[in-house]
Amino acid sequence: MIPEHFPTQFILAGIGTEIGKTVVSSILVEALQADYWKPVQSGALEDSDTETVRQLISNTVSQFHPEAYRLTQPLSPHAAAEIDNVHIDLNSITLPITSNALIIELAGGLMVPLNDHELNIDLVQKLGLPIILVSRNYLGSINHTLLSVELCRNRNIPILGIIFNGPTVSSTEHFILNYTNIPCLGRIGQENQLTKDVIRNYANQFAELIRSR
């Protein structure tokens, strides 16, 4: 279960798309035996991120809460919603009721539009929860990570820490952590195959790291 002094509910935000938020979600859901919720799912409705997390975890405590919006096209939510003739209304997105810990995964990065006037960052503010930022090393990732951090700080959104997913680039990670003074909550290597055992092994590592905070 979630350790003392660590928030019982938080949001996983990525520095961009295809960063690995769902993998990180699976690991943290398993580590904390937390519930999982993705408010907006764009495309892959039969193989959604919710189903991916469900298939990768091993514990029997976690519950999976239904998405507020299930959009048929694998596009930015605002574009997918337009095709489906749906308007994403932030007022209709409310936190699931649960007595358990809750991990919330965003659809894309913080500045991804949900409708013509509102972004993921607006949803984060509405939900009023801290975030964990998922970063991945690639050319430009320093810029994307620092912009995400700056955006959250400008909006007074607490950042619990950064998780690096994928191949390690020590100079990049050192600069990001030193410049932002945000703790690293852990690293996930480049795995050839994701299985329950792989997720469980990382979950055990993350549980220890989080307990030490």
Task: For 6-59, write each residue's pLDDT tens digit.
Answer: 788 999 999 998 889 999 999 999 999 999 999 999 988 888 999 999 999 999
Question: Has 38 been annotated as catalytic?
Answer: yes
* Mean pLDDT for all residues in the chain: 93
pLDDT score, position 212: 61
Rounded distance between C-alpha atoms, residue 122 and residue 37, angstroms: 17
Segment 165-173 shows an average pLDDT of 94
Weakest mean pLDDT among 14-18, 86-90, 102-106, 134-138: 14-18
| Candidate list 21, 38, 126, 196, residue with the active-site label | 38
Q: Decide if pLDDT at 140 tops 90.
A: yes
Quick one: average pLDDT of 185-200?
91
Q: What is the mean pLDDT of residues 61-82?
A: 96
- Would you place residue 5 in the very low, low, confident or very high pLDDT band (cuts 50, 70, 90)? low
